[in-house]
Amino acid sequence: MPMVLTETAIMQYRRDGYFFPIPILRADEVADLRGRLETFEAKQGGPIGGGHRNKSHLLFKWLDDLMRDSRILDVVEDLIGHDILCWNTIFWIKEAGSPSFVSWHQDLNYWGLDANDLVTAWLALSPASVESGCMRVLPGSHAEAILPHADTFHSDNMLTRGQEIAVEVDEDKAVSMALKPGELSVHNGRIAHASGANDAHDRRIGVSFHYVPTRAQQVVGDWDSAALVRGKDDYRHFAATPIPAGDMDPVAVAFHEKAVSALHDILYRGAEQVTGRLG
Ligand SMILES: O=C(O)CCC(=O)C(=O)O
């Protein structure tokens, strides 16, 4: 028996590779989390970026808690079963009026993971509308072969290498996954997806959680890390990430440095340039 999703929702996810919207957080919870993020940004004197965007649950206790929130994990369990690792958490922030975009791509082309059932859970902490550049997906593309990609290194592209699908994508078939603050979308790690610029007056703030069954493996890098968030890990394919005692806990911050450096090597393997972005 599914825990929270209907059989119809699960069937749609399996057939099309995505499902949304799923209400998760109350308005007061969204305000609290956005406040925590923006307090950190105000203290550091600018938007979160660089290495802070990835594996960020090691830096912020509140994000580690959110990654383990049963309201999100119940959805994920309905899709991939009870024994769940979170491999990465990524901030996707587009400032109001910013040209930042994400080109059409398939994540499992470059994450080095042997995990065709990877679920990305993307949570909106501000409005993710068509105007603010919400994600768009190409239904059913997760079930087909991974398409060829090319690196563009475009400076407004939020992806590591500005990588994009090198064949024509039929944009007419794309579905926009607009979300209200506190809502979640889920998509399969093989699905083709993209997002446009933020033409709205507010920041578009999203955080993504990338969940895999514990049997998943890193097949490109020699070392990688993940957090056991539900069930048990009989495989131990990944180094277990420590749970931070608080924000910027020194032990977790030191682990974060190692984990992001390993991720950097995986994502830039074979690239001709390093942009400094990870995503
Ligand atoms: O936030 C976006 O616009 C893109 C996110 C993305 O590519 C992902 O979560 O896999």
Is residue 202 domain-resident? yes
Residue 39 has pLDDT above 80, yes or no: yes
pLDDT of 275: 79
In a domain? residue 2: no
Tell me the pLDDT band of 279, cut-offs 50, 70 and 90: confident
Question: Of the residues 102, 164, 186, which should be mutated to test ligand 1's pocket, given the most ligand atoms within 8 Å of the CB?
Answer: 102
Q: What is the amino acid identity at position 111? A: W
**How close is the Cα of 234 to the center of ligand 1, in Å?**
30
Q: Is residue 277 in some structural domain? A: no
Q: Is residue 186 part of a domain?
A: yes
Q: Domain holding 62: CATH number?
A: 2.60.120.620
Average pLDDT, the chain: 96
As for ligand 1, residues whose beta carbon falls within 6 Å of it are 92, 102, 107, 120, 122, 135, 193, 195, 206, 208
Query: Roughly what angle, to the nearest 10 degrees, separates helices 70-80 and 7-16?
Result: 70
229 in helix, strand or coil?
A: strand
Specify the pLDDT at position 208.
Answer: 98
Is 195 within the bounds of a domain?
A: yes
14 CA to centre of ligand 1 in angstroms: 19
User: Within a domain: residue 273?
Assistant: no
Q: Which of 54, 89, 92 to mutate to test the pocket of ligand 1 (most atoms within 8 A of CB)?
A: 92
| Residue 274 belongs to a domain | no
- pLDDT band of residue 267 (cuts 50, 70, 90) is confident
Residues 92 and 160: their CA atoms lie apart, in Å, by: 12
The residue behind tokens 């501000």 is 126
Burial class (CB in 10 A: 0-12, 13-18, 19+), 12: middle
Query: Ligand 1 centre from 245 Cα, in Å?
Result: 28
More confident residue, 41 or 273: 41
Q: How many domains does the chain have?
A: 1
> b or e along 111-122 (b: 16 or more beta carbons within 10 Å of the residue's beta carbon)?
bbbebebbbbbb
Please, are residues 61 and 251 in contact by the beta-carbon 8 Å criterion? no
Which residue's CA is the nearest one to ligand 1's atom 9? 208
102 occurs within a structural domain? yes
pLDDT, tens only, 93-151: 999 999 999 999 999 999 999 999 999 999 999 999 999 999 999 999 999 999 999 88
Could you tell me the pTM of the whole model?
0.97
Residue 202's nearest CA partner among 134, 270, 152, 139 is: 134
Domain around 14:
7-267
Give φ, ψ of 248 to 5 degrees: 55, 40
Nearest in space to 231 (alpha carbons), one of 55, 86, 101: 86
